[in-house]
């Protein structure tokens, strides 16, 4: 008799993350260039001085200090009283911006499915490190869709490895649809957070309104920003030719075009020019940029590519 499937397989044909990958991810952690400034205790070194086991510095003793933290060895050498200071351990706030617009439903496998699995992997790493994870799904859930609204609400402020199972299960309930709101979603996220930490943006970055306003808002707020642009294989190498009627998946606008094989090279150049412009923008703004396709190995992206780029370690 087959074994019982994990709960997060209910909405998909296979688990978001395999048991083997989950075990491998437990050995990793989210990396950040800055120490955390969060007020909540976790396992992240902070500039705050506290009473953890990580020694930080000394300062002169003043009347009223706790005598338990006097450094008697230093007193024996210098005949002066010093108090030991320690690194407080704080959690790292991790914000994952997940593009669920209709364009993300494109591809085989779909861009949204890959983005959701990547959010699962990154979130699991953070939760195992006792960091606080919030997934911000955009655009807004359709009016009246209580299931989507509930799943999205449950992905806010998740903390601790004990919450990982519910976190993965809620991700499987998400669906894509609606017009993109890339800039408003990122700007709203930058305004709402109390403390900036790591921001991971998972999107095809194909919003007609562009991307600069949203990414600028995160950078200005002090986030350490990673942008993962997810494209479908068909978007990089189209296989359909001839007289075509193209329909915009988000606006429903139609356009008839003739796409011959000789135009494929020009199309590829347009795509490369766009991603190169995006890459250069990110480099100048201090945003880490990655481009992946939805048919890539999730294990390779998480365990190799993002580790090489110092997103995970």
In the chain, domain spans: 7-36+92-308, 41-90
Rounded to whole angstroms, how far apart are CA atoms 56 and 19? 38
Nearest to 302 by CA among 100, 51, 117, 48: 117
Q: Is pLDDT at 52 greater than 80 in this prediction? A: no
Q: How confident is the model at residue 233 (pLDDT cuts 50, 70, 90)?
A: very high
Task: Point out which residues pair with 85 in neighbouring strands.
Answer: 57
Neighbours of 189 (CB within 10 A): 22
pLDDT, position 259: 63
**Residue 178 burial (CB count, 10 A):** 16
What phi, psi does 299 have (nearest 5°)?
A: -60, -40
Secondary structure class of 271 (helix, strand, coil): helix
> Confidence class of residue 8 from pLDDT cuts 50, 70 and 90?
very low
Q: Residue 63 pLDDT more than 80?
A: no
Q: What CA–CA distance (Å, rounded) separates 147 from 153?
A: 10
Mean pLDDT of 33-44: 46
- Point out the least confidently predicted range of 103-107, 214-218, 244-248, 260-264: 244-248
| pLDDT for res 181 | 93
CA gap 106, 112 in Å, rounded? 8
228 has pLDDT over 60:
yes
pLDDT value at residue 67 = 85
Instruction: Say which residue, 210 or 51, is predicted with more confidence.
Output: 210
Helix H or strand E encompassing 138: strand 132-138
Q: Is residue 38's pLDDT more than 80?
A: no
Residue among 132, 105, 144 nearest 37 (CA):
132
Query: What contacts 112, CB < 8 A, 6 or more positions away?
Result: 99, 100, 104, 105, 176
Higher pLDDT, 120 or 308: 120
Predicted local confidence at residue 1, as pLDDT = 38
pLDDT at 172 > cutoff 90: yes
Q: Which of 6-10, 116-120, 225-229 has the lowest mean pLDDT?
A: 6-10
Closest CA to 222 of 38, 23, 2: 38
| Average pLDDT, integer, range 142-154 | 94
Of residues 12 and 124, more confidence is placed in 124
CA distance linking residue 41 with residue 241, whole number of Å: 57
Q: What is the DSSP letter of 218?
A: H
What does pTM read for this prediction?
Answer: 0.78
| Mean pLDDT value of segment 38-67 | 59
For residue 269, the surrounding DSSP H or E stretch is helix 264-285
Distance CA 125, CA 164 (A): 9
Report the greatest alpha carbon distance in the chain.
89
Mean pLDDT value across residues 282-302: 97
pLDDT of 117 over the 50 cut: yes
Q: Both tokens of residue 1?
A: 């008799």
Mean pLDDT of 191-217: 95
If you average pLDDT over every residue of the chain, what do you get?
A: 84
Q: Could you tell me the pLDDT band of residue 33, with boundaries at 50, 70 and 90? A: very low
Q: What is the CATH number of domain 7-36+92-308?
A: 3.40.50.410
Tokens found for residue 149: 């609204």
What average pLDDT score do residues 145-164 get?
A: 94
Q: Residue 61: its pLDDT value, please?
A: 78
| pLDDT range class, residue 59, cuts 50, 70, 90 | confident
CA distances, 137 to each of 57, 95, 199 (Å)? 42, 10, 13
CA of residue 257 relative to chain centroid, distance = 37
């Amino acid at each position: 008799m087959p074994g019982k499937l994990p709960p997060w397989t209910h909405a998909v044909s296979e688990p978001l993350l395999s048991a083997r990958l989950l075990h491998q991810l437990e050995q990793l952690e989210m990396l950040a260039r800055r120490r955390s400034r969060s007020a909540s205790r976790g396992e992240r070194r902070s500039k705050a001085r506290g009473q953890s086991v990580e020694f930080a510095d000394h300062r002169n003793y003043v009347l009223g200090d706790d005598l338990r933290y006097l450094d008697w060895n230093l007193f024996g050498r210098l005949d002066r009283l010093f108090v030991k200071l320690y690194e407080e351990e704080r959690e790292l706030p991790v914000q994952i911006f997940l593009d669920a617009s209709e364009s993300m439903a494109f591809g085989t496998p779909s861009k949204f499915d890959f983005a959701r699995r990547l959010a699962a992997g990154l979130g699991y790493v953070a939760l195992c490190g006792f960091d606080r994870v919030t997934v911000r799904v955009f655009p807004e859930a359709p009016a009246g869709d209580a299931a989507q609204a509930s799943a999205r609400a449950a992905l806010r402020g998740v903390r601790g490895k004990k919450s990982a199972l519910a976190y993965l299960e809620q991700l499987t309930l998400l669906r894509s649809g609606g017009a993109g709101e890339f800039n408003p979603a990122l700007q709203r996220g930058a305004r709402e957070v109390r403390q900036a930490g790591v921001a991971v943006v998972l999107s095809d970055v194909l919003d007609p309104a562009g991307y600069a306003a949203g990414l600028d808002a995160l950078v200005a707020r002090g986030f350490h920003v990673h942008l993962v642009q997810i494209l479908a294989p068909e978007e990089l190498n189209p296989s359909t030719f001839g007289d075509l009627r193209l329909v915009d998946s988000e606006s429903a606008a139609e356009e008839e075009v003739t796409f011959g094989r000789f135009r494929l090279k020009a199309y590829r150049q347009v795509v490369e020019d766009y991603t190169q412009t995006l890459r250069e923008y990110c480099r100048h703004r201090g945003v880490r940029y990655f481009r992946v396709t939805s048919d890539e190995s999730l294990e390779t992206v998480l365990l190799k590519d993002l580790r090489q780029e110092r997103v995970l370690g």
